[in-house]
Structure 1
């Protein structure tokens, strides 16, 4: 995979995929609140395994290009983007202007992390 894509893009794509798994692990069960909590925990744990299989190597690969603070910032911005889509598309919960403004502030904070002052 890393030979076909720019090295800076590989960890981002892997973190994006890992976030999809983790978002389903953490929040997917909310669409099925009638199932027993223990089942939700076990299923979520199983889904989270795949998140770790992507996130750990993404961070290892990404550390060749990004600092740890940059990797964590990338992770958080991806998490917000994935969560926003998940919330609207899977949980059918609308995002309000207040959410978008709050997310925008977080993205603005991320911009500062990547500045080389």
Structure 2
């Protein structure tokens, strides 16, 4: 059974976003006392896994979606991953602005995917 392109693309983009978010922001909590270059090396090491998922996700997705659709899809997934990360892992408070940003992305998804 062949997994649909949309499922492969969204699944791999979501997993790559988890790695990306940890690489970009995790060091702010775990490595704040270390020099920036140590945080950068560790972040780059984590980001490798992001790229190992991101690149094939985009190659698979590009067989069915336009470049703009892939980018907007990526941004919507990024917010979906980032908000729980910020609240749960980084102990940031929930903000109503997260809802407004999500609504803006819903609009972006609508406009980029409409026929």
Q: Is the structural similarity TM-score above 0.5?
A: yes
Kindly indicate whether residue 18 of structure 2 is the aligned counterpart of residue 20 of structure 1: yes
Label 1:113 to 1:37 Cα distance change in 2 as closer, same or farther (>3 A). same
Point out where structure 2 has 5 or more consecutive residues left out of the alignment.
none
Correspondence list, 1:106-117, <5 A = 106-116=105-115
| Alignment: residue pair count | 114
Structure 1 residue 81: deviation in Å? Answer: 0.7
Aligned residue in 2 for 1:31:
29
For 1:8 and 1:109, the matched residues in 2 are separated by 18
For 1:25 and 1:82, the matched residues in 2 are separated by 13
Moved over 6 A (4+): none
Aligned residue in 2 for 1:43:
42
Aligned residue in 1 for 2:3:
5
The root-mean-square deviation of aligned C-alpha atoms, in Å, is 1.2
Point out where structure 1 has 5 or more consecutive residues left out of the alignment.
none
